[in-house]
Structure 1
Amino acid sequence: MKRLALLLALAASSFTTLGATLPTGADNFYKSDTVTVERVTFKNQYHMEVVGNLVRPKAASNATASAAVIVGHPMGAVKEQSSMLYAQKLAEQGFVTLAIDLPFWGESDGEPRNLVAPEMYSEAFSAAVDYLGTRDFIDRTRIGVLGVCGSGSFAISAAKMDPRLRAIATVSMYDMGDVTRNGLGQSVSLEQRKAMLAKAAEQRYTEFTTGKGIFLDYLPTQLPADADPVTREFWAFYRTPRGIAIPKGRTLETTQNRMLTSEVRFVNFYPFNDIETISPRPMLFIAGSEAHSLEFSQKAYALAGQPKALHVVPGAGHVDLYDRADVIPFDKLTRFFVANLSAD
């Protein structure tokens, strides 16, 4: 606890030094007084333990089977970052929600930590359906999914294979495959991609002989003066008291960061291929008008079958929709899940 307090103090100091202020409405660590939160565990098909927070309305009756929504966290984050805010807000509207830690992240199983494993990420959503669908208080025909940032693409990948996911929503979605192959705005050339793959392949020799992974320093603890706007946006959430959440056994330096030799697995990840086969199950894509990631929601919307909707939040950036409760369109999400997970 003393170490965590020190890290938070250092982050707060850095935050103040940069002259930044907490965005209005930012409430990542929101605590609702009308829901209960229970830590639950269940196995995926790899026999790995997935850990989640089961959130239930206090007014819910066990006599009536409820609709449920699985909530996935941003890429490199944990369930306490963004997804628990969404899980509680939806539970306040009557849904049972399950915010999960993806394998290799947070409290869920998986070694080495912070491993990129898109197939296992997608499997975690189906394993969450297995768990929810075998609870007496859940109507297994009324289970939906909400993926924030990278989990939007993992949820779509899962939904293509698992028709039990009856309604699919994404917020500030990242296509982790596309951004790894091509960069934001198609800014990475084929030659640059090949150079990245060559570096990662060569680096595997070092990791194999030493037994230690070499982590990329995506988000340093101190923000460089020449940091680009996207890095600044993520840093202002993950490296400040606004959004810091450090899992057991991790440090501030290792949260978010991944090994290049692991990251390249995303090159073979194509979540939008065959996205139209999810139809006629409904899809909702939510993104900010100023988000650097808007292109991914727009592309998914263009490729998806009907019914589908794209909701662009005016003036919002990518990370704004992680935790700014005054900007996030919770009403839009509520109407979507109520309409599509209602009892017939």
Structure 2
Amino acid sequence: LAEQGFVTLAIDLSFWGESEGKPGHLVSPEIYSDDFSAAVDYLSTQPYVDSDNIGVLGICGSGSFVISAAKIDPRMKAIATVSMYDMGSAFRNGLNHSLTPEQRKALIQSAVQQRFAEFKGAEKAYIPGTVNTLDDSTPAIQREFFDFYRTARGGYTPQGEKEELTTKPLLSSIGKFMNFYPFNDIETISPRPMLFITGDRAHSKEFSEDAYKRAGQPKELYIVPGAGHVDLYDRTDLIPFEKLTSFFNTNLK
């Protein structure tokens, strides 16, 4: 986006990467959403930024966080998502609603038990957002994430425990995702425009389709031929830069 001429700010969410917040890897979708409003605060103080024309782009899980943020921050004038994950639905229901109510309750119970154990001094525990090794039983979706998050492709260099925890949230806090409903009231973002980009082979396509169905006008669902979920992270021959550029140029005037 910077190469397309936009003033561009990329952020690490609170509790992750180089952002502050303790404990690290905490799940907090409300704070994640507020991080995008904090980014707007910062950009709006820069003399070279038109504070009346700020757009927002969320990729993967951050797609759901920017939608949550945009619902209560009208300063975000144009909202785009790429390979979006509805993190609330993903944890409540699983992909394609594969998680049973009993499995959901068991996951919540394990999180609460771990929370209390850590309160009493136990070591922190994490869930495997991305596996560290592959074997014959590794599902295709995990292999797709492994190929990015556990290889040099995603900038990964094995350097001990810190690197191995990339994409691994605290077990004790994952229940907070169960209470996260980013698409509720998504139609109230209208008349600000929304663009949902997904690949036709993406296992996450269901989330973009759901958001598009619920959103008010103007809205567009743009499906990239031949693209999977992770492809739209970094495959420059597949990422529709022209579509993103025209969307923001048209709606940020």
* 3-state DSSP of counterpart to 2:222: strand
2:136 to 225, 231, 247: 225
1:149 to 53, 60, 63: 60
Match of 2:199 in 1: 288
Compute the displacement of 1:230 (Å).
0.6
Match of 1:118 in 2: 29
Match of 1:180 in 2: 91
Rounded Cα–Cα distance in structure 1 between residues aligned with 2:230 and 2:4: 24
Alignment of 1:263-282 (within 5 A): 263-282=174-193
**Aligned: 1:311 with 2:222:** yes
Letter in 1 for 2:69: A
Compute the displacement of 1:237 (Å).
0.3
Match of 2:76 in 1: 165
Match of 2:124 in 1: 213
RMSD (CA atoms): 1.6
1:252 to 142, 146, 163: 163
Cα deviations across residues 310-333 of structure 1 (Å, max 9, x unaligned)? 000111100000000000100000
Match of 1:202 in 2: 113
**Aligned: 1:329 with 2:240:** yes
Match of 1:300 in 2: 211
Task: Summarize the Cα distance change of 1:108–1:250 in structure 2 as closer, same or farther, 3 Å threshold.
Answer: farther
Rounded Cα–Cα distance in structure 2 between residues aligned with 1:262 and 1:123: 18
Letter in 2 for 1:312: I
Compute the displacement of 1:204 (Å).
2.0
Given that 2:131 and 2:142 are in contact with CA atoms closer than 8 Å, whether structure 1 keeps it comes out as no
Cα deviations across residues 111-132 of structure 1 (Å, max 9, x unaligned)? 1111111011000000111111
Normalized per residue, the structure richer in helix is 2
Alignment of 1:94-105 (within 5 A): 94-105=5-16
Rounded Cα–Cα distance in structure 2 between residues aligned with 1:112 and 1:247: 22
Normalized per residue, the structure richer in strand is 1
For structure 1, the residue ranges without an aligned partner over 5 or more in a row are 1-89
For structure 2, the residue ranges without an aligned partner over 5 or more in a row are none
* 3-state DSSP of counterpart to 1:146: strand
2:41 to 130, 134, 139: 130
Query: Normalising by the residue count of structure 1, what TM-score does the alignment of the two structures yield?
Result: 0.71
Match of 1:190 in 2: 101
Query: Normalising by the residue count of structure 2, what TM-score does the alignment of the two structures yield?
Result: 0.96
Compute the displacement of 1:104 (Å).
0.4
Determine which structure has more spread, i.e. the larger CA radius of gyration: 1
Match of 1:11 in 2: none
Cα deviations across residues 133-168 of structure 1 (Å, max 9, x unaligned)? 111110000000000000000000000000000000
Match of 1:242 in 2: 153
Match of 1:106 in 2: 17
Rounded Cα–Cα distance in structure 1 between residues aligned with 2:132 and 2:102: 31
Rounded Cα–Cα distance in structure 1 between residues aligned with 2:102 and 2:162: 34
User: Sequence identity of aligned pairs in percent?
Assistant: 61
Rounded Cα–Cα distance in structure 2 between residues aligned with 1:198 and 1:211: 17
Given that 1:287 and 1:294 are in contact with CA atoms closer than 8 Å, whether structure 2 keeps it comes out as yes
Task: Summarize the Cα distance change of 1:151–1:181 in structure 2 as closer, same or farther, 3 Å threshold.
Answer: same
